[in-house]
Structure 1
Amino acid sequence: MGKSILGLDIGGTGIKGGVLIDGHLEDIRSIPTPALESKEFILETIAEFIQSYEIHDLLGIGVGIPGLVETESGVVVGLSNIPSFQHVELKKFLTERFGLPVFVNNDANCFAIGVHKFGVGRPFKNLVGITLGTGTGGGIVINGHLYSGVNSAAGEWCSAPYLDKNYEYYCSGKFFQNFFSSKPKALAKRAHSGDPEAIRAFEEFGTHLGELLKMILYSLAPEAIVLGGSIRKSYPLFKKSMYRSLETFAYPTVLENLKILISELDETAIHGAVALVDVEEDLVRVL
């Protein structure tokens, strides 16, 4: 097989991987995350998963993590949904085990660079990626390069105060669970069938999301904002109210030039993980 890059998406419930070969993502597979086990056990599980890809001639490994990461050292600062995975020298562990370049970053940052390199964000030098799922995450691409900030915390608008909670409380699956006692997918099905309450749920969600996007516009004024995550699939249900909320943005010319796009990639986290691998310094250029 040809030279390839391995991308890993490590989450609280599953570890997913795929290899980029000649610009195409292949051999996608996943295993459960042993989230309640020790740090050492989890590291060995990750290593065994990587070993299952030994058929490929790997150039490097990129890893996306749902938490804060010291990107230069590759130390995972902490993960709320994997209790033992705190201050983990993941890059050092994997580099020593496999002898390959390893890059680790926050999964929302991976989403942003993934859609820029491989998805609808390719035409834009400056964009923001927002993931709408169980939680809300954000990533920033400036002049074609991922901007991670200290401990990969750039773009974490989800934690900023909003109303009585924060933006994540109102702009993720938590909103539907807390206010409508239902998951977004079930509500979307009801909304498409004409259920008034479900329709109202997505209208309210769109209003809150519009407020989040306005904050992003005030802070960065990007060319494009790309929406990802499972809730993006219900975009027609909240698009109108989202734009209605955006209409109150103070600078119309900025809004007129903004592109709001929906990610078409179902494996954006893995695409983003492989995009982390900087092969210019020590390896041939493949991205």
Structure 2
Amino acid sequence: MKKYCFGIDIGGTTVKCGLFDVQGNVLDKWEIKTRSEGNGENIIPDVAAAIETKISEKGIEKADIAGIGVGVPGPVNEEGAVVTAVNLHWGYVDLAGEMEKLTGITTKVGNDANVAALGEMWKGGGEGHKNVVMVTLGTGVGGGIIIGGKILTGSHGAGGEIGHIHVEDKMDKPCGCGNKGCLEQVASATGVVYLANKKLAESSMSSVLREGEVSAKTVFDAVKAGDALACEVAEEFGKYLGTALASVTGVVDPEIFVIGGGVSKAGTVILDYVKKYYVNYVLDACKGTEFALATLGNDAGIYGAARMVIE
């Protein structure tokens, strides 16, 4: 009977690490620096060394370890190889294979957004559900789709890239992906700022947003205070995201949407605007789909990574 597993979340700045028991209790968590110089050649050895150190520190037998799960910012194929990870300066890297060689421990790898979604399904905002779509509203819009308790990756590793659903024909600049009018351009933290600045330029309405730097936080703080212009921005944000999620429902029909990322810190006011438009555009049978805020924060990745090896 296996007793332990490791959950690893590799980011561009730090690698978050967690030691778990197989019931999903975190026993220890720590971080190491992501050394991405030299085409990221140090990252995998550094992670392997961190795991070996923790095994020694805790007096754990390798025979008692179910495996190592790893989330990484890039597409991952079925063999656990990373196709590319720009933030890590990686091209094709056989991450699972290299980690297994260095540690002797079975390793599974997934895209970080998908892995975070798995974590939220298991121990976070989606707990108790097996069909979950997680939406991460940060600098961009990330997504992860869990169907029947399993990550949906797709044939190119791009399953769940809901931030690049086309939602607007009239955008004056391209998205980071090269296309124009992606959901990410109007529903991320930077997207909310774009909508607010556009509204401020086009309208003569008074607003607290004219008094200082505009951010997603200041917009939703203003919404909570009843600022009329900010509320119009929130309506526009809600329409874009609610409509997009109605389209997602028509394809994967989740039990629940879990909303995370920095923008979600505004709280349930986010859900109110999104659900308002979601129910207008979704199929009648799916109007009761639940919405919840993510609860694991920055730990979602290590929880999901751990879950990959003990599911």
Structure 2 length as normaliser, TM-score? Answer: 0.79
Q: CA deviation at 1:213?
A: 0.9
Q: CA deviation at 1:231?
A: 1.9
Q: CA deviation at 1:160?
A: 2.4
Are the aligned partners of 1:15 and 1:31 in contact in 2 as well (CA < 8 Å)? Answer: yes
CA change 1:191–1:244 in 2 (3 A) is closer
Q: CA deviation at 1:50?
A: 2.7
Q: CA offsets per residue over residues 106-132 of structure 1, 9 Å max, x none?
A: 112112221222223232232212222
Question: 1:42 and 2:43 equivalent?
Answer: yes
Partner of 1:262: 293
Question: 1:25 and 2:26 equivalent?
Answer: yes
The CA distance in 1 between the partners of 2:100 and 2:115, in whole Å, is 20
Q: CA deviation at 1:230?
A: 2.4
Are the aligned partners of 2:36 and 2:42 in contact in 1 as well (CA < 8 Å)? Answer: no
Which letter does structure 2 place at the counterpart of 1:14? Answer: T
Question: 1:221 and 2:227 equivalent?
Answer: no
Q: Among 74, 77, 80, which residue is 2:80 paired with?
A: 74
Q: Select between 41-50 and 152-161 the one with higher mean Cα deviation.
A: 41-50
In structure 2, the residue corresponding to 1:150 is in which secondary structure? coil
In structure 1, the residue corresponding to 2:281 is in which secondary structure? coil
In structure 2, the residue corresponding to 1:53 is in which secondary structure? helix
Which letter does structure 1 place at the counterpart of 2:32? Answer: I
CA change 1:120–1:39 in 2 (3 A) is closer
The CA distance in 1 between the partners of 2:75 and 2:305, in whole Å, is 15
Are the aligned partners of 2:145 and 2:160 in contact in 1 as well (CA < 8 Å)? Answer: yes
CA change 1:243–1:105 in 2 (3 A) is same
Counterparts in 2 of 1:246-257, with a 5 A limit? 246-256=278-288
Q: Select between 238-247 and 84-93 the one with higher mean Cα deviation.
A: 238-247
**Which structure's CA Rg is the greater one?**
2
In structure 1, the residue corresponding to 2:292 is in which secondary structure? strand
Supply the RMSD in Å over aligned alpha carbons: 2.4
Which letter does structure 2 place at the counterpart of 1:232? Answer: S
In structure 1, the residue corresponding to 2:93 is in which secondary structure? strand
The count of corresponding residues between Structure 1 and Structure 2 is: 275
Q: Among 118, 123, 128, which residue is 2:133 paired with?
A: 128
Q: CA deviation at 1:148?
A: 1.8
The CA distance in 2 between the partners of 1:237 and 1:260, in whole Å, is 12
Where in structure 1 do 4 or more consecutive aligned residues deviate above 6 Å? Answer: none
Q: CA deviation at 1:186?
A: 4.6
In structure 1, the residue corresponding to 2:79 is in which secondary structure? coil
Q: Among 160, 165, 168, which residue is 2:184 paired with?
A: 168
The CA distance in 2 between the partners of 1:123 and 1:67, in whole Å, is 28
Q: CA deviation at 1:187?
A: 4.1
Q: CA deviation at 1:212?
A: 1.8
Counterparts in 2 of 1:65-144, with a 5 A limit? 65-70=72-77, 72-82=78-88, 84-144=89-149
Which letter does structure 2 place at the counterpart of 1:170? Answer: V
Are the aligned partners of 1:112 and 1:141 in contact in 2 as well (CA < 8 Å)? Answer: yes
The CA distance in 1 between the partners of 2:228 and 2:31, in whole Å, is 38
Which letter does structure 2 place at the counterpart of 1:101? Answer: T
The CA distance in 2 between the partners of 1:31 and 1:184, in whole Å, is 30
The CA distance in 2 between the partners of 1:199 and 1:13, in whole Å, is 35
Partner of 2:243: 211
Q: Among 68, 74, 82, which residue is 1:61 paired with?
A: 68
Q: CA deviation at 1:146?
A: 2.3
Higher share in helix: 2
Are the aligned partners of 1:8 and 1:63 in contact in 2 as well (CA < 8 Å)? Answer: yes
Higher share in strand: 1
Structure 2 stretches of 5 or more lacking a match? 172-180, 198-212
CA change 1:138–1:254 in 2 (3 A) is same
Q: CA deviation at 1:102?
A: 0.3
Q: Among 212, 217, 231, which residue is 2:263 paired with?
A: 231
Are the aligned partners of 2:74 and 2:84 in contact in 1 as well (CA < 8 Å)? Answer: yes
